[in-house]
């Protein structure tokens, strides 16, 4: 049985040890990492080829020596050996589950006398090294979407005022196909950042596995190489679409090379072409960007087959995840503490939550239409959003049946407590309770009035409440304003008594001026 075929370099080393160094076949085999029988076979093959010294071996080229030693294989010169269709190999590697080992095995089926796996991989690496950095990176289809903003902005003129605003340009690039999305927004703030993601997913018609943003403040609360904190609203969007957000590592340019080159392409292919145009609205600018995006994505690659669009449609689009039924609705997140009246204050309005949560701090999610309260990631309340300041939205189920843990906080007790400060204070608190749908909604302003006594004293609070009753200005803010301006120290001006009109023949009445004939 013939020894296994070695590389020409290895054969030269075996013959050098045998002939130049005078080693035995066993020693030469051990020194070159082959068996004794293999070393013996290559000595015999060299002798059969008419070679007897290492100098004769060294004088031959690699291909000539291989043909002299293996004439029976009919091996074609290496320069005629087909290596592989490297552009096709590069694109195939983007498909899920496809590896170099699998592609080499398929190559050897077509080329039984082709290159070994290691040499084949070396040749592919040499070809790949001639590509640009971004093309060299191999990303699996449907895996990553890189997002960032372009550096240059685009001026947009307000046709009515002539004011010039600078529009920002958002860019998203798919990893495997380089398929690109771009749009203009007014700012890089969180609402625009989130809206651009929603429209990017719609443009792609699906969702990737990962979104890779730069460490932009809108998307990343705290930049860190190992554990960056994703903004809660951004995380909310990721949960809605079922994607993972993996921010690019700080000081790691290769993490974001794909989007940086994508941004550069957008700047050169789109923004450079728009530099001499004048835009009077954001919609007009985005329409121009959309038109140029078509050409960008259809432009053929220089060193690879196809275009961004063709690779996207063939390789990447089929493996993107389906979009959710409804697009993401922008939401803000805030924290709010539950007051003793089991309501949380959000933007000046008060929303009820289960009374058992009194004293806890909740996470509040706000959209344009709803408000949701979460305790330990569990939703505990949901309301329609109200823009009325100082008003309450209360669900009866959130109220305690008998105020179990907080039975002492009843409207009657608060009124009695107010009476200890003064009768006018008690009257104000009672009026506040009666003006609410649920008396408990009056706890907060009533307690606020009582606490004013710590700063201004009970006598001044009583005087302020007396003036508030006289003026029908019964609210916490009114009483606080009276105290701040010192109006409680000024005497109340009694209204003038009702005096009957004076009857006299020389006094003209109102009818005098309505009559057509007047005395001279």
Stronger pLDDT, 391 or 257, i.e. the higher one: 391
Nearest CA among 30, 52, 48 for reference residue 39: 30
- Do both 281 and 148 map to the same domain? yes
- Do both 160 and 287 map to the same domain? yes
Q: How many helices (H) and strands (E) does the chain have?
A: 20, 15
Q: Is the pLDDT of residue 449 over 50?
A: yes
Give the residue-averaged pLDDT of 458-474: 88
H or E element that contains 166: strand 164-174
Say how far apart CA 7 and CA 32 lie, in whole Å: 12
Q: What is the pLDDT of residue 75?
A: 45
What CA–CA distances, in Å, run from 244 to 50, 67, 228?
Answer: 67, 56, 13
Stronger pLDDT, 260 or 461, i.e. the higher one: 461
- Do both 302 and 352 map to the same domain? no
- Do both 184 and 58 map to the same domain? no
Classify residue 520: in a domain, yes or no.
no
Q: Residues 244, 249, 254, 257: what is their CA dihedral angle, to the nearest 10 degrees?
A: 60
- Do both 218 and 314 map to the same domain? yes
Classify residue 510: in a domain, yes or no.
no
- What's the pLDDT band for 437 if we cut at 50, 70, 90? confident
**Which of 287, 319, 351 delimits the end of a domain?**
319
- Do both 257 and 227 map to the same domain? yes
Asked if residues 178 and 160 have their Cβ atoms less than 8 Å apart, the reply is no
Q: Is the pLDDT of residue 300 over 90?
A: no
- Do both 119 and 244 map to the same domain? no
pTM of the model: 0.51
Q: What is the pLDDT of residue 405?
A: 43
Asked if residues 456 and 483 have their Cβ atoms less than 8 Å apart, the reply is yes
Which domain, by its residues, includes 421? 411-489
Stronger pLDDT, 305 or 432, i.e. the higher one: 432
Stronger pLDDT, 385 or 377, i.e. the higher one: 385
CATH code at position 236: 3.30.420.10
For 63, other C-beta atoms within 10 Å of its C-beta total 16
Stronger pLDDT, 120 or 515, i.e. the higher one: 120
Among 117-121, 379-383, 453-457, which stretch is predicted with the lowest mean pLDDT? 117-121
Give the residue-averaged pLDDT of 298-317: 84
Classify residue 166: in a domain, yes or no.
yes
Nearest CA among 462, 445, 431 for reference residue 391: 445
Q: What is the pLDDT of residue 53?
A: 82
Q: What is the pLDDT of residue 78?
A: 45
Question: Which of the 8 DSSP states describes residue 229?
Answer: E
- Do both 151 and 244 map to the same domain? yes
- What's the pLDDT band for 225 if we cut at 50, 70, 90? very low
Chain mean pLDDT for the chain: 79
- The residues, ordered by sequence, that sit 6+ positions from 313 with a Cβ below 8 Å of its Cβ are none
H or E element that contains 40: helix 36-48
Give the residue-averaged pLDDT of 217-236: 58
Q: Residues 446, 447, 449, 451: what is their CA dihedral angle, to the nearest 10 degrees?
A: 170
Give the residue-averaged pLDDT of 467-491: 87
- Do both 164 and 309 map to the same domain? yes
Say how far apart CA 86 and CA 110 lie, in whole Å: 15
- What's the pLDDT band for 442 if we cut at 50, 70, 90? confident
Stronger pLDDT, 139 or 454, i.e. the higher one: 454
Classify residue 495: in a domain, yes or no.
no
Classify residue 228: in a domain, yes or no.
yes
Strands, DSSP E only, in 330-397? 332-337, 343-346, 349-352, 361-366, 370-375, 378-384, 392-393
Q: Is the pLDDT of residue 232 over 70?
A: yes
Asked if residues 181 and 213 have their Cβ atoms less than 8 Å apart, the reply is no
Q: What is the pLDDT of residue 207?
A: 92
Classify residue 404: in a domain, yes or no.
no
Our count of domains for the chain comes to 5
Q: What is the pLDDT of residue 111?
A: 74
Q: What is the pLDDT of residue 252?
A: 54
Asked if residues 366 and 334 have their Cβ atoms less than 8 Å apart, the reply is yes
- The residues, ordered by sequence, that sit 6+ positions from 83 with a Cβ below 8 Å of its Cβ are 114, 115, 120, 123
**Which of 345, 376, 398 delimits the end of a domain?**
398
- Do both 44 and 159 map to the same domain? no
- At 161-216, the pLDDT tens digits run 888 999 999 999 988 888 999 999 999 888 899 899 999 999 999 999 888 887 55
Q: What is the pLDDT of residue 407?
A: 47
Q: Can you say how many angstroms the Cα of residue 379 is from the centroid of all Cα atoms in its chain?
A: 23
- Do both 219 and 89 map to the same domain? no
Q: Is the pLDDT of residue 257 over 70?
A: no
Q: What is the pLDDT of residue 1?
A: 41
Q: What is the pLDDT of residue 251?
A: 47
Q: Which residues pair with 210 in a beta bridge?
A: 144, 244
Classify residue 364: in a domain, yes or no.
yes
- What's the pLDDT band for 97 if we cut at 50, 70, 90? low
**Which of 375, 398, 421 delimits the end of a domain?**
398
Classify residue 245: in a domain, yes or no.
yes
Give the residue-averaged pLDDT of 422-449: 83
Asked if residues 124 and 100 have their Cβ atoms less than 8 Å apart, the reply is yes
Give the residue-averaged pLDDT of 240-247: 85
- Do both 47 and 194 map to the same domain? no
Q: Can you say how many angstroms the Cα of residue 173 is from the centroid of all Cα atoms in its chain?
A: 14
Q: Is the pLDDT of residue 220 over 60?
A: no
- What's the pLDDT band for 137 if we cut at 50, 70, 90? low
For 383, other C-beta atoms within 10 Å of its C-beta total 17
Say how far apart CA 169 and CA 256 lie, in whole Å: 17
């Amino acid at each position: 049985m013939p020894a296994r075929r070695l590389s020409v370099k290895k054969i030269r080393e075996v013959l050098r040890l045998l002939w130049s160094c005078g080693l035995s076949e066993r020693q030469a085999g051990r020194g070159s990492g082959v068996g004794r029988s293999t070393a013996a076979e290559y000595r015999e093959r060299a002798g059969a080829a008419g070679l007897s010294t290492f100098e004769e071996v060294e004088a031959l080229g690699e291909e000539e020596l291989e043909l002299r030693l293996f004439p029976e294989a009919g091996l074609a010169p290496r320069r005629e050996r087909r290596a592989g269709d490297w552009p096709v190999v590069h694109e195939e590697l983007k498909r899920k589950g496809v590896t170099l080992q699998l592609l080499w095995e398929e190559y050897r089926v077509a080329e039984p006398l082709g290159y070994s796996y290691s040499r084949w991989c070396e040749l592919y690496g040499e070809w790949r090294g001639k590509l640009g950095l971004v093309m060299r990176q191999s990303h699996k289809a449907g895996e990553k979407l890189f997002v960032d903003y372009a550096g240059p902005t685009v001026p947009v003129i307000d046709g009515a005022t002539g004011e010039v605003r600078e529009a920002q340009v958002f860019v998203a690039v798919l990893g495997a196909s380089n398929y690109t999305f771009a749009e203009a927004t007014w700012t890089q703030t969180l609402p625009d950042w989130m809206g651009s993601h929603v429209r990017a997913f719609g443009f792609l018609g699906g969702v990737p596995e990962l979104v890779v943003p730069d460490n932009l403040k809108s998307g990343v609360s705290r930049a860190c190489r190992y554990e960056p904190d994703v903004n809660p609203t951004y995380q909310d969007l990721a949960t809605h679409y079922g994607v993972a957000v993996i921010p690019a590592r700080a000081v790691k340019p290769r993490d974001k090379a794909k989007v940086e080159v994508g941004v550069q392409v957008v700047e050169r292919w789109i923004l450079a072409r728009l530099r001499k145009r004048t835009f009077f609205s954001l919609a007009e600018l985005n329409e121009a960007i959309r038109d140029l995006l078509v050409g960008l994505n259809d432009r053929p690659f220089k060193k690879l087959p196809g275009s961004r669009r063709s690779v996207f449609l063939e390789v990447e689009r089929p493996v993107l995840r389906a979009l959710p039924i409804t697009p993401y609705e922008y939401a803000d997140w805030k924290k709010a503490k539950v007051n003793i009246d089991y309501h949380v204050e959000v933007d000046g309005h008060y929303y009820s939550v289960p009374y058992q949560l009194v004293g806890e701090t909740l996470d509040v999610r706000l959209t344009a239409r709803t408000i949701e309260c979460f305790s330990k990631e569990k939703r505990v309340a949901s309301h329609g959003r109200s823009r009325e300041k100082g008003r309450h939205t209360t669900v009866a189920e959130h109220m305690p049946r008998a105020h179990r843990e907080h039975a002492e906080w009843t409207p009657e007790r608060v009124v009695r407590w107010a009476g200890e400060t003064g009768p006018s204070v008690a009257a104000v608190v009672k009026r506040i309770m009666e003006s609410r749908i649920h008396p408990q909604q009056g706890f907060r302003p009533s307690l606020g009035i009582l606490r004013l006594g710590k700063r201004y004293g009970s006598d001044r609070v009583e005087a302020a409440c007396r003036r508030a009753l006289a003026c029908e200005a019964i609210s916490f803010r009114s009483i606080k304003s009276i105290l701040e301006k010192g109006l409680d120290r000024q005497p109340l001006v009694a209204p003038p008594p009702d005096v009957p009109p004076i009857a006299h023949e020389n006094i003209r009445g109102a009818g005098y001026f309505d009559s057509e004939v007047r005395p001279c």
